[in-house]
Structure 1
Amino acid sequence: MIFLRYILCPVVPIYYLVTWFRNKLYDLGIKKSMSHKLPVICVGNLSTGGTGKTPMIEYLIDLLKKDYRVATLSRGYKRKTEGFQLANKDATAESIGDEPFQFYNKFKEDILVAVDADRNNGIKQLQSIGDVPEVVLLDDAFQHRKVNPGFNILLTTYNNPYFKDIVLPTGNLREPRRGAKRADIIMVTKCPENLSEAERNAILRQIKPKVNQRVFFSSISYSNTVISSTTTKPIKGLSDFTLVTGIANASPLVRFLKEKGLKFEHLNFKDHHEFLEQDILELDKKDFIVTTEKDFMRLKQYETLRDKLFYLPISIVINDAVKINKLIKDFLKTKL
């Protein structure tokens, strides 16, 4: 795969020009971005793969749900439905996608969860329902420029920051680095817990934020327990289990478990893996399975796995949570 990426290096300038030209058309107003009466906060990235969008959306939900009627709007990647879908008691990972299904399972009493590949239509549909939301959180929509969000949060990882990357197909960027200029907040995710001030300053010098941009740093916090559909267990009591991951980058999770001194085999699938019958038959043979919350949403439907399938919750810790919380709430105050 890496060799193929290098072979495709001559395509990089073409991809760069196409995405640059598309963005320029939006910047000049030739292609139209639609603004909405509802405040819209977009969480996205420049690169492909796991930068931590789901934990960031959940952070925003926790921050806002007590004071505002919140809706999340996602594309619903790999779902088996089309058009606008509003999650209800019959929703599944197949009908709305694994990440929206995760939002629904965790926050169904507090928020609305919707999916639509056409984000403008999705926002219009949310405005037409009885209990209209007061704020919409757009998941993974930084490149969806048909919507003009009021507030953009751009995520980039500590180990693979956008400013050291190039565009597809040789690199991982969906668009040129200059796209970061559209962000109001740039969040460097998956940082070491003990990231020094000197390291933060070095990253800031490479990001070179605009006057109106703020840069924050976050790390992953793993729970000390794993959770099943019926019970919880402490991590320290686990032994000889199977770790199942279908996410973009499982390395931080694997590193965390190893640092705990735990012994496990790792079945590593591609991001958003669709578990097939042969996969389930293989998992049936395992005695105890630990997975991510996203993968749990796809696997918990299988009765044979119910008693041995657990997930490890994660959350994010932001270096200056008070400041970012104030920026987001100040934005909403200007719109409501």
Structure 2
Amino acid sequence: MKILRYILFPVMPIYFLVTWLRNKLYDLDIKKSVSYNFPVICVGNLSAGGTGKTPMIEYLISLLKDDYKVATLSRGYKRKTQGFQLANETSTSESIGDEPFQFYNKYKKDIDVAVDADRQNGIEELVSLEQVPDVILLDDAFQHRKVKAGFNILLTTYSNPYFNDMVLPTGNLREPKIGAKRANIIIVTKCPEGLSEAEKKAILNKINPENYQHVFFSTIAYSDTIISDDLIKSIDNLKTFTLVTGIANASPLVTFLKSKNLKFEHLNFKDHYNFSTKDLAELDKKELIITTEKDFMRLKQYESLKKKLFYLPITVKINDKNKFDKLIKAFIKH
């Protein structure tokens, strides 16, 4: 893969120019964006996946759901439906996508979960509901310039920050680094515990935020328990198991499990992987399977796996949480 990226290096300037020009046309108002007179918060990244958008959306849901009617709007990546879909009791990961299905399963009593590749149309559909949302959270829409969110949260990982990266196909950036200037908040995600103030300052200097931008650092907090549809087990009591992941970067999870001195084999699939009949037959031979919550949403539909399938919950911990929360709530109020 790395060799192929180096071979494609001559294509990179073309990709850079096309994405830069597209953004410039929006910045100059030649290409039109639609803005709204109610709170729309976008969570996205410059990199191609794996920055922690899903737990960040869930953090915002938990922060806001008790005070506001919240709706999430995602593209619904790799779903088998078209157009606008509002999640309901018949929805599956195939009809609305992995992450939206996860949101719906966890928060269906509190929020609306919708998908639409056309975010403008999706927002119009949401505001036409009988109960109009007070706040709409756009999942992975930083490059969707047809919609101008009132507030942009940009995520970048500690291990591969956007300021050290290049645009596709040689690097992982979907657009040039200057796109970060559109963000109101930049969060460096998946940081190690105990990140020193000196290292935070060094990262802050490289980001070089504008006066209107705020930078935060976050870590992943893993649960001490694993969960199935029916059971909860302590992770410390596990003997051996199979770890199954279909996410962009499983390294933090693997590192955590190894730090607990647990014995496991790791079956690592690509992000949003569609498990084949052969894959499922192999998984059926395993005694205990632990996976991510996103992968759990896809795999739990298979009856043969239900009694052996568990997921490890994660949450996001943000440094200076009070300041972050106040910024979000201040935007919504004003």
* Map of 2:236 onto structure 1: 236
Distance 1:167 1:5 in 2: 11
**The residue matched to 2:61 in structure 1 has which SS?**
helix
Q: Does 1:142 align with 2:133?
A: no
Letter in 1 for 2:168: L
Stretch of structure 1 that moved more, 52-61 or 32-41: 32-41
Letter in 2 for 1:48: A
**The residue matched to 1:243 in structure 2 has which SS?**
strand
* Map of 1:178 onto structure 2: 178
Distance 1:239 1:24 in 2: 55
Distance 1:297 1:279 in 2: 16
- CA shift, 1:187, in A, is 0.3
Equivalent residues in 2 for 1:97-112, closer than 5 Å: 97-112=97-112
* Map of 1:206 onto structure 2: 206
Question: How many equivalent pairs are there?
Answer: 334
- CA shift, 1:38, in A, is 2.6
Letter in 1 for 2:260: K
Equivalent residues in 2 for 1:241-256, closer than 5 Å: 241-256=241-256
- CA shift, 1:277, in A, is 1.1
Distance 1:34 1:313 in 2: 36
**The residue matched to 1:77 in structure 2 has which SS?**
coil
Letter in 2 for 1:216: F
Distance 1:220 1:193 in 2: 9
TM-score between both structures, scaled by the size of structure 1: 0.99
* Map of 1:286 onto structure 2: 286
* Map of 1:131 onto structure 2: 131
Distance 2:277 2:99 in 1: 22
Equivalent residues in 2 for 1:210-229, closer than 5 Å: 210-229=210-229
Residue deviations 1:83-124, cap 9 Å, x none?
000000000000000000000000000000000000000000
**The residue matched to 1:253 in structure 2 has which SS?**
helix
Distance 1:198 1:302 in 2: 48
Distance 1:10 1:56 in 2: 35
* Map of 1:92 onto structure 2: 92
Stretch of structure 1 that moved more, 31-40 or 174-183: 31-40
Q: Does 1:48 align with 2:48?
A: yes
Deviating beyond 4 angstroms after TM superposition, the runs of 4 or more aligned structure 1 residues are none
- CA shift, 1:36, in A, is 1.7
TM-score between both structures, scaled by the size of structure 2: 1.00
* Map of 2:82 onto structure 1: 82
**The residue matched to 2:153 in structure 1 has which SS?**
strand
* Map of 2:37 onto structure 1: 37
Distance 1:238 1:94 in 2: 31
- CA shift, 1:239, in A, is 1.4
**The residue matched to 1:42 in structure 2 has which SS?**
strand
Q: Does 1:315 align with 2:294?
A: no
Letter in 2 for 1:14: I
The CA RMSD measured in Å over matched residues stands at 0.4
* Map of 1:151 onto structure 2: 151
Distance 2:107 2:94 in 1: 18
Distance 1:220 1:39 in 2: 27
% identical equivalent positions: 73
**The residue matched to 1:186 in structure 2 has which SS?**
strand
Letter in 2 for 1:250: A
* Map of 1:20 onto structure 2: 20
Letter in 2 for 1:90: T
Residue deviations 1:285-317, cap 9 Å, x none?
000000000000000001100100000000010
**The residue matched to 1:32 in structure 2 has which SS?**
coil
Distance 1:275 1:86 in 2: 25
Q: Which runs of 5+ in 2 are unaligned?
A: none
Residue deviations 1:41-63, cap 9 Å, x none?
00000000200000000000000
* Map of 1:10 onto structure 2: 10
**The residue matched to 1:61 in structure 2 has which SS?**
helix
Equivalent residues in 2 for 1:111-130, closer than 5 Å: 111-130=111-130
Q: Which runs of 5+ in 1 are unaligned?
A: none
